[in-house]
Amino acid sequence: MGKNILKGKTALVTGGSRGIGKSIAIKLAEMGANIVLNYRSNVSAVEEVIDEIKSFGVEAVAIQGDVSNFKESENLVRETFEKFNSLDILVNNAGITADGLLIRMKEVDFDKVIQVNLKGAFNCIRHVAPIMVKQRKGKIINISSVVGITGNAGQANYAAAKAGIIGLTKSAAKELASRNINVNAVAPGFIETDMTKVLSDKVRQLALNNIPLKKFGKGKDIAEVVGFLASDSSEYITGQVINVDGGMVI
Ligand code: NAD
């Protein structure tokens, strides 16, 4: 997407200190948006990303906060709005995994994945939506996953949360459309980040066998689509789930 087409807009990206969130924040900055980068704990990593973002000539600040906490996400949104006096783009990217087979999965591992991946997105939308409704415009982009569509052995918690994101996206799209707010989801396939680095060679090879384009994705592949959804070029698209997966799910 072109440079400067988001000039003057404010984008909040959750979980942005590394991986896909970092790529998204950099892409939106390259397109001219001012950036609020939410992070949970890694201050030095987020500061490096902030420096990189500022090199595009936009303003950028990092705000610490756990999106799974209703109050902390409220503070995050309030501080974002106080800083820039607008909030045009929300990207719900923060996510975790706690994989394991269903019959052995601990209750705590189910709860925490739902709490961060699904409730975290709800929390941020819940606090951002009143601002966007008042502005009569906004773009909300939720990062789901192809496993939210297909399911995945060993990821019952994660797949349930990512499927939940899709229902959340479609419901929010219907509720907010009359206020000129677009709500869409992006469903990445296998993207090379810290989240997938921990997987064994066997699992990686199995995944590769199921990708028609025969390569893993990069953060920038997701960021390009998020950039499009954040721009006016996508103004007639809402409630959709866009797979970015090398053809993994066709
Ligand atoms: P990652 O682990 O590199 O990054 C996730 C980021 O979220 C980290 O910066 C982490 O600190 C942050 N985070 C976690 N819990 C948080 C919380 N409670 N509050 C605030 N921030 C929090 O992973 P990634 O691969 O970059 O994943 C980004 C998103 O893309 C996630 O939602 C993930 O589920 C999704 N996704 C990734 C892949 C993939 O193959 N990598 C595939 C499908 C979907």
Among protein residues, the one whose CA lies closest to atom 8 of ligand 1 = 15
Among protein residues, the one whose CA lies closest to atom 17 of ligand 1 = 66
Specify if 208 maps to a domain: no
What pTM was computed for the model?
Answer: 0.98
Specify if 201 maps to a domain: no
Specify if 5 maps to a domain: no
Q: Which of 24, 48, 96, 222 to mutate to test the pocket of ligand 1 (most atoms within 8 A of CB)?
A: 96
Overall average pLDDT of the 37-43 stretch: 97
Specify if 177 maps to a domain: yes
Each residue's pLDDT tens digit, 195-246: 999 999 999 999 999 999 999 999 999 999 999 999 999 999 999 999 999 9
Which protein residues touch ligand 1 with a CB less than 6 Å away?
Answer: 14-15, 17-21, 38, 40, 66-68, 93-96, 116, 120, 143, 145, 188, 190-191, 193-196
pLDDT (0 to 100) of residue 2:
75
Task: State in Å: Cα 18 to ligand 1 middle.
Answer: 8
In ligand 1, the atom with minimum distance to the C-alpha of 158 is: 34
Please, which pLDDT band fits residue 1 given cuts at 50, 70 and 90? confident
**Average pLDDT value over all residues in the chain:** 97
Q: Which range has the worst mean pLDDT, 80-89, 121-130, 195-204? A: 195-204
Specify if 127 maps to a domain: yes
pLDDT (0 to 100) of residue 81:
98
Among protein residues, the one whose CA lies closest to atom 18 of ligand 1 = 66
In ligand 1, the atom with minimum distance to the C-alpha of 216 is: 40
Overall average pLDDT of the 5-27 stretch: 97
Q: What CATH number did the domain enclosing 21 receive? A: 3.40.50.720
Each residue's pLDDT tens digit, 115-125: 999 999 999 99
Q: Domain count of the chain?
A: 1
Please, which pLDDT band fits residue 94 given cuts at 50, 70 and 90? very high
> Which residues are tagged catalytic?
158
Specify if 64 maps to a domain: yes
62: nearest Cα among 86, 74, 85, 45: 45
Among protein residues, the one whose CA lies closest to atom 41 of ligand 1 = 191
3 state SS for the chain: CCCCCCCCCEEEECCCCCHHHHHHHHHHHHCCCEEEEEECCCHHHHHHHHHHHHCCCCCEEEEECCCCCHHHHHHHHHHHHHHHCCCCEEEECCCCCCCECHHHCCHHHHHHHHHHHHHHHHHHHHHHHHHHHHHCCEEEEEECCCHHHHCCCCEHHHHHHHHHHHHHHHHHHHHHHHHCEEEEEEEECCECCHHHHCCCHHHHHHHHHCCCCCCCECHHHHHHHHHHHHCHHHCCCCCCEEEECCCCCC
Specify if 138 maps to a domain: yes
* Contact in structure between 32 and 86 (CB atoms under 8 Å): no
Neighbours of 44 (CB within 10 A): 7
Overall average pLDDT of the 152-164 stretch: 98
Question: Which residues are CB-neighbours of 214 under 8 A, at least 6 positions away?
Answer: 208, 246
Q: Is the pLDDT of residue 11 over 80?
A: yes
Are β-strands 60-64 and 89-92 bridged in parallel, bridged antiparallel, or unpaired?
unpaired
Task: State in Å: Cα 181 to ligand 1 middle.
Answer: 24
Structural domain of residue 149, as residue ranges?
10-191+219-243
Among protein residues, the one whose CA lies closest to atom 31 of ligand 1 = 95
Torsion angle in degrees (nearest 10) through CA of 63, 124, 17, 140: -120
Specify if 145 maps to a domain: yes
d(CA 236, CA 224): 18
Please, which pLDDT band fits residue 74 given cuts at 50, 70 and 90? very high
